[in-house]
């Protein structure tokens, strides 16, 4: 694996996104992410997801994805949905240690964790998909609503703003703010404490929390993917996506 690495911290695995500076999410990163989740499933009792200090993840790898045809994009979307779902349903405590910007798909990965800790300073996060002509993915919208409530989820998606840590904390998008140099240690400490809880009970409690979202997502998964693809390949949206890709 080159786009994701696994670091052992006693009972807790740290999954680090290592796809260059931006940690853009493309097919290779998703393949490595899936492999990493499979590796930790039997050997660890907790998981922390981390990126870099400039970018936790910039989101989808638009320069690569705008080159895909509809069939290829459909496969990518299946893989992206599955990666997000697998982390969300992982039967162990999880946290995202956000030391850099987490935008669009980067925020979606963070939403998949049980907890989100972000570094203080100018670290931006948010779901700005509307600004490039596409909707926030269905699964991400369901998770967001569960975490921050419907009214805040509405505003975050409709406005597409990237927000600072203090605002993210005030609306419930993150659970804590800490020094950049300590944010991973804080996440590892928090998940380490939960990893000592009885695994069977924890897994059932987490499933009780996540299963309504999973059930709703699975019931409309194909339909929502087709809607996303139809929007993605509209000529006007393709132009917006290509302009956004030029900024990578």
| Class of 4-195 in CATH | alpha beta
Q: Are 87 and 25 in contact (CB under 8 A)?
A: no
Task: Report pLDDT for 1.
Answer: 75
pLDDT digits 0-9 by tens, 62-113: 999 999 999 999 999 999 999 999 999 999 999 999 999 999 999 999 999 9
CA dihedral in degrees (216, 167, 104, 118; nearest 10)? -100
Q: Return the closest-CA partner of residue 107 out of 74, 148, 66, 47.
A: 148
Distance set, CA 42 to CA 75, 84, 122, 189 (Å): 27, 19, 37, 20
For 85, what's the count of Cα atoms within 13 Å in the CB-facing half-sphere? Answer: 18
Taking the C-alpha atoms of residue 240 and residue 248, their distance in angstroms, rounded to an integer, is 13
Paired strand residues for 97: 50, 117
pTM above 0.85, yes or no: yes
pLDDT digits 0-9 by tens, 49-73: 999 999 999 999 999 999 999 999 9
């Amino acid at each position: 694996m080159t786009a994701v690495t696994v670091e052992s911290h006693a009972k807790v695995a740290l999954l680090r996104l290592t796809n260059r500076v931006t940690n853009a999410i493309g097919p290779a990163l998703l393949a490595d992410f899936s492999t990493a989740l499979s590796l930790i499933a039997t050997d660890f009792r907790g998981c922390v997801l981390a990126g870099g200090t400039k970018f936790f993840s910039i989101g989808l790898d638009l320069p690569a994805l705008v080159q895909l045809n509809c069939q290829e994009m459909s496969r990518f979307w299946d893989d992206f949905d599955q990666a997000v779902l697998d982390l969300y349903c992982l039967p162990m405590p999880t946290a995202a240690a956000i030391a850099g910007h987490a935008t669009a798909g980067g925020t979606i990965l963070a939403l998949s964790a049980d907890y989100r800790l972000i570094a203080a300073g100018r670290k931006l996060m948010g779901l700005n998909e509307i600004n490039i002509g596409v909707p926030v993915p269905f699964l991400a919208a369901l998770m967001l609503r569960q975490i921050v409530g419907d009214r805040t989820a509405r505003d975050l998606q409709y406005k597409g703003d990237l927000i600072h840590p203090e605002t993210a904390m005030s609306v419930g998008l993150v659970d804590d703010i800490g020094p950049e140099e300590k944010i991973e240690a804080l996440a590892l400490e928090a998940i380490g404490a939960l990893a000592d809880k009885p695994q069977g009970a924890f897994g059932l409690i987490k499933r009780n929390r996540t299963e309504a979202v999973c059930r709703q997502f699975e019931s409309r998964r194909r339909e929502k993917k087709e809607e996303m693809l139809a929007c993605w390949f509209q000529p006007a949206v393709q132009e917006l996506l290509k302009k956004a890709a030029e900024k990578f």
